[in-house]
């Protein structure tokens, strides 16, 4: 199959390509070598229209939902519901909406266990946070560099696989700790001495677990606790 030249689609705005354009995490730096006002004359109307649309959305009140609580959910006592998420912000965001409904409409206590970088995002939406550990940017970079089933030889030589194993163990352990520990999981120190105090916070033991597929350990945690578990995989664009 003949290779298509990207220049055909990008003219009249040629790109400056250099050896370091492709970054280690899969991102590409693009520099547009255009000194005339032609580019701005094309982009400005589109950006202005988008900004107007966003401003209109902010001023428009969201109509109240007419959804009624189903009969089987009436009278259910408040539960401790744990939501485990491994992935990017796009993976976390739909579960935040679900958690808010469970807390506000059904009065359950909801704990969201995910990466530390999303702590503020979780808490600003009124949900409890617990750290699973791990860095989503490093996880995404590894997936970009190793899109197949087997890791590349470069990743093996660089020690990426060993590091990913350590990260996965940290996240699997964090998933179990999120089921049974108080606090937010950010300052965990094992109590190895008699009389040592564990993490301080409101006690929590999960009554049910919701997770996305990359969480891996959620099924085993639910089996150990004897609680129901639900794995949800969002289809982007359908929410």
Claim to verify: residue 82 and residue 53 sit in the same structural domain: no
Encode burial over 53-89: b for 16+ CB neighbours within 10 A, e otherwise.
eeeeeeeeeeeeeeeeeeeeeeeeeebbbbbbbbbee
Query: Is 64 within a domain?
Result: no
For the segment 77-104, what is each residue's pLDDT rounded down to a tens digit?
Answer: 999 999 999 988 889 999 999 999 999 9
What are residue 231's phi and psi, to 5 degrees? Answer: -100, 125
pTM above 0.85, yes or no: no
Q: Are 22 and 144 in contact (CB under 8 A)?
A: no
Query: Is 88 within a domain?
Result: yes
Query: Is 129 within a domain?
Result: yes
For the segment 139-194, what is each residue's pLDDT rounded down to a tens digit?
Answer: 777 767 777 667 777 777 777 778 888 888 999 999 999 999 999 998 755 444 45
What residue numbers bound the domain in which 90 lies?
78-188+200-231
CA–CA separation, 171 vs 71, rounded Å?
Answer: 37
| Residue 91: CB atoms within 10 Å | 21
Query: Residue 72 pairs with which residues in a beta bridge?
Result: none
Q: Which run of H or E residues covers position 44?
A: helix 38-59
């Amino acid at each position: 199959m003949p290779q298509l030249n990207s220049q055909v689609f990008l003219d009249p705005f040629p790109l400056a390509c250099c050896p370091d354009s492709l970054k280690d995490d899969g991102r590409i730096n693009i520099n547009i070598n255009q000194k005339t006002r032609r580019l701005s004359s094309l982009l400005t109307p589109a950006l202005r229209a988008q900004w107007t649309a966003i401003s209109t959305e902010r001023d428009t009140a969201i109509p109240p939902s007419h959804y009624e609580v189903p009969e089987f959910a009436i009278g259910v006592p408040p539960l401790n519901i744990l939501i485990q998420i491994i992935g990017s912000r796009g993976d976390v965001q739909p579960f935040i909406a679900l958690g808010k409904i469970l807390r506000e409409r059904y009065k359950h206590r909801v704990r969201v266990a995910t990466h530390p970088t999303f702590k503020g995002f979780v808490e600003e939406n009124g949900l409890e946070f617990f750290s699973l550990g791990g860095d989503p940017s490093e996880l995404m970079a590894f997936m970009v560099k190793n899109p197949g089933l087997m890791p590349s030889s470069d990743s093996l030589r660089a020690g990426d696989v060993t590091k990913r194993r350590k990260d996965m163990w940290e996240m699997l352990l964090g998933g179990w700790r999120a089921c049974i520990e108080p606090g937010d999981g950010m300052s965990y120190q094992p109590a190895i001495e008699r009389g040592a105090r564990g993490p301080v916070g409101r006690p929590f033991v999960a009554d049910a677990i919701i997770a996305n597929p990359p969480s891996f350990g959620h099924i085993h945690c639910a089996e150990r606790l004897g609680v129901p578990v639900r794995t949800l995989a969002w289809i982007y664009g359908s929410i």
